[in-house]
Structure 1
C-alpha cells in the first residue's frame, strides 16, 4: 500500500512522521511522487479547514487584523511563484511547497480594538498564537531585511575589529509569527525533506504539527489554555466566550 493510500485510510500522523524521518531520502525517485501526493492531500485538507474557519469567523463578526491578507487561496495548485522562489532561494520541503501552490496568504490575526473589546464574545481570541503564514512576497521582504541587518552588523564589528558576522547569512524562509523568545518562525534553505520545523519553542513544531494544533482548537489554542494560564492576568487578556466559540469553530474539522 502506498503512503498516499495509507494517509487516505486514516494513518495521517503515522505517514507524515515516517516521511519526515526519511530526511532527504524522501526525494528518491521511488518515493518522491508518493510523498508529494501525501503533501498535496495534507494541504488540501488544511485549505478546507482554514476556509471553513474563515467563513465562520466572518459570520461571527471577527475583525481580522489584515482582512485582505486573512485568506487568499487558489482553487487549483499553481507552482509558478513557488518555482521562481526556489530558483532564487533554494528548494522548499514538500509540504511547504504544496502549501504555497495553493495558499498565497494566511493571517487570522485579530484587530487590536476587538481584541480588547469588553462586550464582545470574541475579545482576546488571538492571545499568544497566530494562525499565520506569510505570502512568499512578504517572506522575501523579511529575508531582504535580515540580510541588510546582517550587513550592518558585519560592518559594525569590522570597525570594532571583532570577528563577528563575517559569514554570509544562510538563505531562509521566514513565514511570520515567532516563538516565546521572539525568534522568527522559519527555516534555512534549501530543505529537501518532507516537512520543516516552523517554530522552536521548548519543542520543535513542524508545519504539519502547527496546523494540527491550530485546527484542534478551531484556529485559536487560547480557547482551551486561557483559563489555565491567564486567570491571574484577566485585566490584561480579556476572556473570549470559550463555551460558545470552541464548538462552532471546531465543528466538521477534517483530520490531518
Structure 2
C-alpha cells in the first residue's frame, strides 16, 4: 500500500509494511483536546454536584446562592484554564449546537461527547465515594410537572448558549471576559430554575450523578431539552449578530474557536 509518511516506526520489527502494521500516527492535538475536556468536565461536575450534596448533608448550609456560586465558579475557572486547549465545551448540548452551526467539526463530536460523559461519570463516582450516602442530593430531578421542567430546561439552556455563542464566536465580544460572562449566566439560571428542575443545562450534569446514584427519574428531559435549547439559543444569536466588515458573501465554515484565543 502507498506510504503516507505518517505511520508509526514499526518497520524495524515488521518484515514489510502491510495493512496490519501501517497504523496512523495518533493525533496528539485531538488527544490533548479530549484530555482537557475530560478533566474540565470532571472539575465542573464535581464542583456543581458537590454543593447540593453538602447542602443535603449539612441541612442547607450551602443554600441556593451557594449552589449557584459553586456551579458558576466551576464553569469560570475551567473556561479560563482549558478554553485555549479544547474550547472548554464541557457540555454535549453545546458541542452539538456548535457543530450544527459549523463552529465545530462534526467528526470530532463523538469523541468530545465521550470525553464529557466519561468525566461526568468519574466525578459522580468520586463524589459517591466521598459523600456516601448523600449522593441523592446531587441528582437533578424535577419538582414540577414534566412540561414545566422541560420548558425551564429549554429556556435556561437557550440563555446559556446565547451568551456562549456571543463570547465564543463573535469577534466584537470581549473574549477575555468569556469565563466571567458564562459563569454569571450559569449562576443566574440556577437562581431562577434550581428549585424547579435542578437547572442542569447540560446532559452530563444529570447523566453522571444519575448513573452513580441509580436514579434515572425523568432523565430524558435533561437529555433532550438542553440539546434543543442549545441549538435554538446558538442559532438565534447567529441570526441577529452583526456581520463582519465586508461580509456580504455566502456563509463559510468558521475556524474552530469556542473559548480558544486567537
Structure of higher RCO (CA pairs closer than 8 Å, 6+ residues apart): 2
Task: Specify the TM-score bucket, using the shorter chain as the normaliser.
Answer: under 0.3
TM-score (norm 2): 0.25
TM-score w.r.t. the length of structure 1 is 0.26
